[in-house]
Amino acid sequence: MGHGHGHGHAAGRAADRRRLRRVLAVTVTVMVVEVVGAVVTGSLALLADAAHMATDAGAVVLALGASYVASLPAGRRSTFGYHRAEVLAALVNALVLLGVCGYLGWAGISRLGDPPDVDALPMVLFASVGLLANGVSMVLLHRGREGEASLNLRGAANEVFADLLGSVLAVLAGLVVLATGWHGADPVASLVIAVMILPRALVLMRDAAVVLLEIAPNGLDLDDVVHHLRHVDGVVDVHDLHAWTITSGIPSLSAHVTVTDEALAARGVGAILDELCACVAAHFDVEHATFQVEPRSHEAHENLGELH
């Protein structure tokens, strides 16, 4: 039931990789420009933006590598394949973002009391280059992808968004220094960057943890799943229901389904399995489902036990 779905997921990964390669080229180029700008101007906000660019480049390389690994075929022991390499990459990117937030908070607070002078005009010019490049990168990452982006792509996009935000605030800080001569605008800008990217890092970490802990996909009501399955002709009970996500975009489900002996005799196991799979695909968009069909006469002999 899931072959076409898997083919579409592979095509989406290939498109992700093309975008990530372009973003990497833009990011590395502008990172070098902004490092030079930070040295020339002495700006912490510009240095913070250049540091974001460096983490961006690492995030994109990580996302690219994870996408290639996730495309490898399943092996004798890795029966699910390597799809979760993308989820692990997203988790690492979230941790990097948290580290950047911590550094910016520490550096910004330490400079608030005695902010060093910055050369505001070059700072604005260098930050404007970064702003333009980050805008291009965001367009590349969001263009042409149908549906919800993978966690892996979201991790890279969050890094680029952090840099886009940093460039905007670095430009604003430079303009404030030019207009008022208040050099405290520079460390304040770095603190605002840290505060604004922190929630995105935490959300990305949460979403990666949901997949790794095999929590049911968001929006999938298991009681509703049971309700629909029990309305398939001949079904009398649904138990041992499990739902999880292999990687973003691939929700999965398994269940034991008790069916009347009369329905099994009349339609056969194959037809009932087709109906069960069609049910969860139509109502819940779950293409990867495994059902164990059991005759009602066997119900008394089954040890349901406790889930461990």
What is the H or E stretch that residue 259 is in?
strand 251-259
Residues in a beta bridge with 52: none
What are the sequence ranges of the domains in the chain?
3-212, 222-301
CATH number for the domain formed by residue range(s) 3-212: 1.20.1510.10
pLDDT at 193: 80
245 in Cβ contact with 84 (< 8 Å): no
pLDDT at 147: 45
Give pTM, 2 decimals.
0.70
What DSSP string runs through 130-175?
HHHHHHHHHHHHHTT--SSPPHHHHHHHHHHHHHHHHHHHHHHHHH
CATH topology of domain 222-301: Alpha-Beta Plaits (3.30.70)
pLDDT at 4: 43
What is the H or E stretch that residue 294 is in?
strand 288-295
d(CA 159, CA 218): 24
> In a structure prediction context, what are the per-residue pLDDT tens digits for the chain, which is 308 residues long?
444 444 445 566 677 777 788 888 888 887 777 778 777 777 766 676 676 677 777 777 877 787 777 777 877 877 777 878 878 888 888 888 888 888 888 888 888 878 877 778 877 887 788 788 878 888 877 764 444 456 767 777 777 777 787 788 888 888 998 888 888 888 888 888 888 778 878 888 888 888 888 888 888 899 999 999 999 999 999 999 999 988 777 889 999 999 999 999 999 999 999 999 999 999 998 988 999 999 988 765 555 444 43
